[in-house]
Structure formats: C-alpha cells, structure tokens
Amino acid sequence: MVRLIAHGRRTAGIFLVLLIAATAAQAARSQPANARHVLRGTTAYISKRYGYKIALTGQYTMIQALLQWDGSFPFGSSGMVDITLDSHDRKFIVAAKRVSPGMSLVRWQAFVVGVKRQNCTRLRSFRSTSLGGVSAREFVNDCPGYNVITLAALHKGRGYLLEYLAPTQFSAASNRRTYEAGRRSFRFSS
C-alpha cells in the first residue's frame, strides 16, 4: 500500500513537471495576450498581479506569475515571478510583495541582498537609481550561468524586485544597454 502511494506521488510529480514544461513551451511560442504593441518593434508587457508595465524592443515573451511572490529566491520556475524573455535566454524577472509600512529602501535592499546570496555570488557595484519614478537601489551579481543586474524598489506598500539576467556569453556593455532600456520604460500601473 505504501509503495502504491509513493508511486502515485512520484507519477503525479512527473505529470506536474511535464504540464509546467508544456505550458511554458506553449507560452514561449505565442505572443502574450496582455501584450500591447506601442511602437514598431516595441511591445508593452503588463502585469496586473504586480501592477506594472514594461516596454521592450525585440521579440520577448511574457510568462506571468501564477502565485504571489513569497520573498524566496526568485527562480523563474517557481511560478511566483513574471518572466519576460527572448530567444537567447535573456530575461527580465519582476516580483513584488507587501512590506510593512515602516519599510525603508535600505532595509528592502538588505532583504533582497539576503535572498540573492542564497544562490548567487559576487554581489557588487551597489548604486542608487530609480524605477518608475521612485528611488531604487541596484547591484550586479553572478548566478549559475547568468550575469545579473538586480534592482530593489518600494512603491505603494510593496517591495519590488526587478532583475535582468543574461547568459554569460553576452558582454557587460550589451547587458547594461538592454537592462537600462527596460528599466527606463518601466511604469507602475497601480
């Protein structure tokens, strides 16, 4: 009996992984329903869950979060982050979570740094910037297989995490250009 239950759980787990992979593959082949063409070659991707839009040039696909982000490491496969990716595996990841009314940007950045240190190294180049008209903090880090630019911001009672990930074969200058274009286009919608 115990063997049947274990086998059933293993089978259900495999089925779930296959379902998620098939859904992601289908999403990657199709243009998102919530994408709106703004300018020729630029598409706005809108997230109702996290209350923002980002306009990107080129061919990207958005896979929206299915669940609210709980503040854990922002793995794309978690279902808790919005992922907007291109065919070269360059991607923007966005997530947000409610924060206490007294949360400061310094404390929020410290939280994000702690989360990133779980799986990434060489956190460096900390600097002030902005996101959608609010103050933000940014840093560069290395995660397995990716060079990453991470940004932490606060807006209307939420702590935001925006990341740009690029496979290591892309140059830092190219990554910075793509990231900056996305960051500058980012707007809060709620």
Strands 134-143 and 121-131: antiparallel
Residues 6+ apart with CB under 8 A from 150: 112, 116, 138, 139, 140, 141, 161, 162, 163
**The two three-digit tokens of residue 6, written as one number:** 């274990």
Is the domain of 124 the same as that of 63? Answer: yes
Is the domain of 6 the same as that of 50? Answer: no
Is the domain of 94 the same as that of 179? Answer: yes
CATH number at residue 127: 3.40.1000.10
Is the domain of 12 the same as that of 40? Answer: no
Is the domain of 67 the same as that of 153? Answer: yes
End-to-end Cα spacing for the chain = 52
Is the domain of 130 the same as that of 52? Answer: yes
Is the domain of 99 the same as that of 7? Answer: no
Q: What is the number of domains present in the chain? A: 2
Is the domain of 90 the same as that of 5? Answer: no
Q: Is the pTM of this model over 0.75?
A: yes
Which residue range is the domain that position 14 belongs to?
A: 1-30
What DSSP state is assigned to residue 37? E
Each residue's pLDDT, cut to its tens digit, for the chain (190 residues) gives 434 344 444 444 433 333 343 344 344 333 343 443 334 479 999 999 999 999 999 999 999 999 999 999 999 899 999 999 999 999 999 999 999 999 999 999 999 999 999 999 999 999 999 999 999 999 999 999 999 999 999 999 999 999 999 999 999 999 999 999 999 999 999 8
